[in-house]
Amino acid sequence: MLRVSSPVTSPPCPRCATVRPSEDARFCSRCGQRFDESDPADPLLGSVLLGRYRVTLKLGEGSMGRVYLGEQRVGEGVRRVAIKVLSAVRGNDEYIVQRFRREATTLASLEHPNIVRLFDYGEEGGRFVSVMEFVPGESLATRLLRGRLEPGLVLDLATQMSSALEAAHKLGIVHRDLKPENVLLSPGDPTPLLKVVDFGIARRPPAHAHEKPLTSVGTVLGTPAFMCPEQLRGHPVDARADVYALGLLTYLMLAGTLPWTARTLAEWTDAHLNLPPLPLRRQPGCETMSPAIEAALAHALEKDSSRRTASAMAFITELRGEGAAEVAASGVPVASIATVSPTTAPVTPRMHSRYATSPTSPRRRVLPWVIGIAAVGLVGGFAMVSLVLHRGTLLGHGSALRDGAPATAAASPAAPTVLPASPMEDPVARSSSANQASARAAVREGLSRVHAQQLDAAIEALQRARMPSVLTAAEVDPLRQAVDDLGTAKMRRLLRAPNCRQALALLVRLHRVGAAEGSQARLDRSQCARH
């Protein structure tokens, strides 16, 4: 009698519940999450931290430390948590440790459905540990790889973001680093549940009279693509800095791109300080957008904070069209909002001397979905640099920050620049936009090819997506890791044969597109390594 054994089923993706296609698959083809990351050299896997949180899976790793999926037994049930552990090297840096502690203190004071919750914090065996809410889903950055969002969904997400920010602002807390990677989307019905994460560089009132500020006057913290003018100048900021970033995020969700094209620190500084944003209705696909939406965005992106939308909820009121009359009554034409005013004359930013000599170093193996999973701003958080700004890559516009020429004046301080009604088209900007659209289409095509197990076509799509200075590493990483995953599965089959010649040829192809990590590791442990 034949005995038919039932097929062994692997656990689905812990984030989006997609079925794991095979035991060889390391990454989910839909959201990029690792199915499993068993590392026998990692002493924390399987251990219990703070006496009650069992570490089950490593979610990601970066320069600041590691983030794990953990379990906490609660009564008869088990709750999944995200555990952030500061690396031993960073744990010796008192400034980093203070930031880590203050993020925990800040989160502990915030209770809101759209802000990630802190469950626990402690120090154990020289390790600094934060235990936070695990948010299944994806980051807004990952979602935007699939294209711009519908206006109705944008309004809902912007409302959730505004509600979270308003709750923080009422306590005197300013996020200062609101960006797509720090916004998580958890599946919901009918719309996703949004969570704001990473309060690592948030400004908050001192917890006690003797607490010293960690940010000195003139220090710039944040991500240049989403920083308001006063933040770039190193001036003190308030809730209106977050409103500016909220306006940019809303613009990005509606248009699929930011209102400026910039790559270097100098270009971003010039854009935020001096250049008017491209009106939303001049973006492809946004021609029929409501004038109220465009007016709300222009008001939120006002360069002079005294003229900017005063609060996050006021922004939503205007976005819904309920505040259009008030904006119109102010006498400021929509076309002139968010341009250079007499009080915000163009300036030449002072660059930190280390910036010109220090090459940028993107975070090693920080996957874009890692930011989403841990719901803590996690690995790359604490976007802190003194006038060097953020050293990571910028969403949607070019490669990692590089030093550039000082910002140039875009207008005379005596006469505010008003965007002409019919400006001449910039062929460079048009080309950049076209290249970005083509590269993003290649990312989508490549992920589809990976899902269909078509490695050769996926490698070709990845090659097109990696055009220099078009997309950031964060935008291409989901495809790169998926190709790495599929390539590793094929490498495993070739090494079993063994077919060393084909294995080496495959490795060369994967190296050319930066997706050879898994395949290289397997080949190094095989007999083909001697060839």
Domain of 227, CATH number, reads 1.10.510.10
**C-alpha dihedral (217, 220, 226, 230), degrees to nearest 10:** 30
**Do residue 230 and residue 359 come from a single domain?**
yes
Closest among 255, 282, 520 to 421, alpha carbons compared: 282
Residues 370 and 442 in one domain: no
408 domain-assigned:
no
In eight-state DSSP terms, residue 373 is H
Domain membership of residue 167 (yes or no) is yes
Identify whether 322 is part of a domain. yes
Pick the last residue of a domain from 346, 374, 402.
374
Q: How far is CA 127 from the centre of its chain?
A: 26
**Would you state the pLDDT for residue 201?**
84
Half-sphere exposure of 363 (CA within 13 A, CB side): 26
Question: Are 343 and 444 members of one domain?
Answer: no
Please tell me whether residue 85 adopts helix, strand or coil conformation: strand
In this structure, are 294 and 194 located in the same domain? yes
For residue 444, give its domain range: 438-530
Length of the chain in terms of residues written? 531
Residues of the chain with pLDDT under 70: 1-12, 14-17, 23-24, 26-40, 62-64, 88-91, 206-221, 323-433, 467-470, 530-531
Residue at 518: amino acid letter: G
Q: What pLDDT does 466 receive?
A: 81
The tokens for 203 are 């400004």
Q: Is residue 333 one of the residues assigned to a domain?
A: yes
Does 451 share its domain with 337?
no
**Any idea which residue has 């980093």 for tokens?**
96
Question: Encoding tokens for residue 296?
Answer: 């709300």
Give the torsion sign (CA, 177, 178, 179, 183): positive
Write the pLDDT tens digit of every residue in 468-489.
556 777 788 889 889 999 999 9
Q: Are residues 307 and 229 in the same domain?
A: yes
**pLDDT tens digits for 435-456?**
778 888 999 999 999 999 999 9
Does one domain contain both 145 and 251?
Answer: yes
What is residue 206's predicted lDDT score, i.e. its pLDDT?
Answer: 62
Helices 473-496, 500-512: axis angle to 10 degrees equals: 180
Residues 6+ apart with CB under 8 A from 125: none
Q: What angle do CA 348, 352, 356 make, to 5 degrees?
A: 100
Domain annotation covers residue 66? no
Q: Both tokens of residue 512?
A: 């050319």
Query: CA–CA separation, 159 vs 320, rounded Å?
Result: 10
Q: Which of 140, 112, 158, 153 lies closest to 313 in space, CA to CA?
A: 158
Cα–Cα distance for residue pair 112/170, rounded to 1 Å: 12
Instruction: Please confirm, yes or no, whether 177 is among the known catalytic residues.
Output: yes
Do 299 and 195 share a domain, yes or no?
yes
Domain end call among 318, 346, 374: 374
70 bridge partner residues: 55, 81
Same domain, 330 and 446: no
pLDDT score for 100: 85
Catalytic residue among 24, 39, 42, 177: 177
pLDDT digits (tens, 9 = 90+) for 89-115: 666 777 788 888 888 888 999 999 999
263 and 359 together in one domain: yes
**Number of folded domains that form the chain:** 2
* Whether residue 167 is found in the same domain as residue 309: yes
Together in a domain, 344 and 472 = no
Of 397, 391, 156, 382, whose CA–CA distance to 261 is shortest? 397
List all residues 6 or more positions away from 334 whose beta carbon is below 8 Å from its beta carbon.
279, 291, 294, 295, 298, 327
Of 324, 352, 374, the domain-final residue: 374
In a domain, 427, yes or no: no
Task: Give me 372's structure tokens.
Answer: 């989403």
pLDDT at 288: 92
Does any domain span residue 511?
yes
Q: Name the strand (E) or helix (H) holding 482.
A: helix 473-496
Q: What is the rounded distance in angstroms from the CA atom of residue 123 to the CA atom of residue 102?
A: 14
Cis peptide bond N-terminal to 284, omega within 30: no
Asked whether residue 425 is assigned to any structural domain, the reply reads: no
For residue 7, which amino acid is it? P
